[in-house]
Amino acid sequence: MILVTGGTGMVGSHILLECVKKNEPIRAIYRRDESLNHIKSVFKKSFPRNTNLFKSIEWIKTDLNDLVGLDMAFKGVEYVYHCAAKVSLVQFHEKKLLKTNIEGTANIVNLCIKYKIRKLGYVSSIASLGAEKKVKVVNENHPWSSGQNHTPYAYSKYNAELEVWRASKEGIDVVVINPGVILGAYFWHRGSGAIFEKVNKGLKYYTTGNTPIVSLKDVVDVLIILMNSSIKNERFILVSENLKQKKLLDKIAFAFKKKEPSFRLSREILYTLNIIDKTLNFLGLRKRYLSFALIDSLCNDQKYDGSRILNKINFTYRKTDEIINQIVKNY
């Protein structure tokens, strides 16, 4: 039996899509009924002639901090794809990020140990790498830099990954992937889908940093290959290309036949907006969105080396234009 956490998210749902095609016994957890309804529509678009595939999944309504529900979900499970996570870069989500990503992953790890599962695959993030700013190209071996600002999301993913490595020390085989910005379709109001949505609606501005990208299909394919291989206790950055945000947005705008964003949000402008944001929060007029750590992230010039995986498995990254055009086609 396979268990997928985050079964209604972008990566988790597409893990399910691939597994049901192979008739593998699979179970997934979900939190909200409306999310489950959305995944039904994704399955319908992916398999318009076979509506029974969605029904072959055993769904359990629970979340990462519901120990009773999680324990039920783990019974009879041999392989776990841990895809569930809270993803947010805004400051006021810090408590939710820490509780879901760190405590939730610790709960998953504890149950993997309890039930002696055969392998755990974890969807981490390049945010968890946290290399020093002076590093120009980040790879899997660069250590986390505790002496610099990190977003709450980066901090939560780094510590969640430490929980996964704890599982490996307890005898559980694990594989970890660290994807960049995952480009995929059907999730238009969150993640990269929101970027496509905003560009299509006439996004006017851009920030100055690099955007390491990878296609959703590549992330799913690599993780499934790793889970079915003898590779264990290793991590892999998944980045097909490092693009300036302006160039990525221009490519998306071109695919949509929309006007390219033209207003440059420099670091100086973002610092000014941060002061305004902080003042409004202090006055109780709005929640805090910006932070110095987030500004550093938005203006980050670091690149990420996703080549190591190419030497481990038979795999080739999809081309950026191909990825974008396919997503726009499915919009």
Domains of the chain as residue ranges with CATH: 2-188+212-242+303-320 (3.40.50.720)
Of 22 and 251, the one with more pLDDT: 251
Of 291 and 225, the one with more pLDDT: 225
Region at 15 (left for phi over 0; alpha for psi -120 to 50; beta for the rest): alpha
Two tokens, residue 49: 């002639």
44/145 Cα distance (integer angstroms) = 44
203/196 Cα distance (integer angstroms) = 9
State yes or no: pLDDT of 223 exceeds 90.
yes
Give the number of other CB atoms < 10 A from CB of residue 106: 19
Two tokens, residue 7: 């079964």
Question: What is the overall mean pLDDT for the chain?
Answer: 91
Of 91 and 62, the one with more pLDDT: 62
State yes or no: pLDDT of 92 exceeds 80.
no
Residue 115: which pLDDT band, with cuts at 50, 70 and 90?
Answer: very high
Residue 145: which pLDDT band, with cuts at 50, 70 and 90?
Answer: confident
Q: Specify the pLDDT at position 22.
A: 86
Q: Specify the pLDDT at position 257.
A: 94
DSSP 143-178: PP-TTS---HHHHHHHHHHHHHHHHHHTT-EEEEEE
- What is the average pLDDT across 218-244? 96
State yes or no: pLDDT of 172 exceeds 90.
yes
Q: Specify the pLDDT at position 36.
A: 86
Q: Specify the pLDDT at position 318.
A: 96
Within its chain, how far is the Cα of 142 from the centroid? 20
25/76 Cα distance (integer angstroms) = 11
Q: How do 173-179 and 205-207 pair as beta strands?
A: unpaired
Q: Specify the pLDDT at position 190.
A: 85
Q: Specify the pLDDT at position 212.
A: 95
Q: Which residues pair with 215 in a beta bridge?
A: 183
**CB of 327 closer than 8 Å to CB of 185:** yes
Alpha helices in the chain (DSSP H): 10-21, 33-46, 52-55, 67-74, 94-97, 104-114, 152-169, 191-200, 216-227, 245-256, 267-282, 292-298, 320-329
- What is the average pLDDT across 176-203? 92
Of 129 and 90, the one with more pLDDT: 129
Q: Specify the pLDDT at position 105.
A: 96
DSSP 296-317: HHHT---EE---GGGGTSS--P
State yes or no: pLDDT of 107 exceeds 90.
yes
Of 286 and 25, the one with more pLDDT: 25
* Amino acid in position 41: S
317/223 Cα distance (integer angstroms) = 13
Q: How do 210-215 and 26-30 pair as beta strands?
A: unpaired
Of 126, 64, 122, residue with least CA distance to 96: 64
State yes or no: pLDDT of 80 exceeds 90.
yes
Question: Helix 216-227 crosses helix 10-21 at what angle (to 10 degrees)?
Answer: 60
Residue 134: which pLDDT band, with cuts at 50, 70 and 90?
Answer: confident
Residue with tokens 């498995």: 313
Q: Specify the pLDDT at position 120.
A: 97
State yes or no: pLDDT of 150 exceeds 90.
no
- Tell me what percent of the residues of the chain surpass a pLDDT of 90: 66
DSSP H or E stretch at residue 5: strand 2-5
Q: Specify the pLDDT at position 270.
A: 87
112/74 Cα distance (integer angstroms) = 8
Residue 125: which pLDDT band, with cuts at 50, 70 and 90?
Answer: very high
Which positions ≥6 away from 154 have C-beta within 8 Å?
A: 125, 127, 128, 130, 293, 297
Residue 300: which pLDDT band, with cuts at 50, 70 and 90?
Answer: confident
Residue 286: which pLDDT band, with cuts at 50, 70 and 90?
Answer: confident
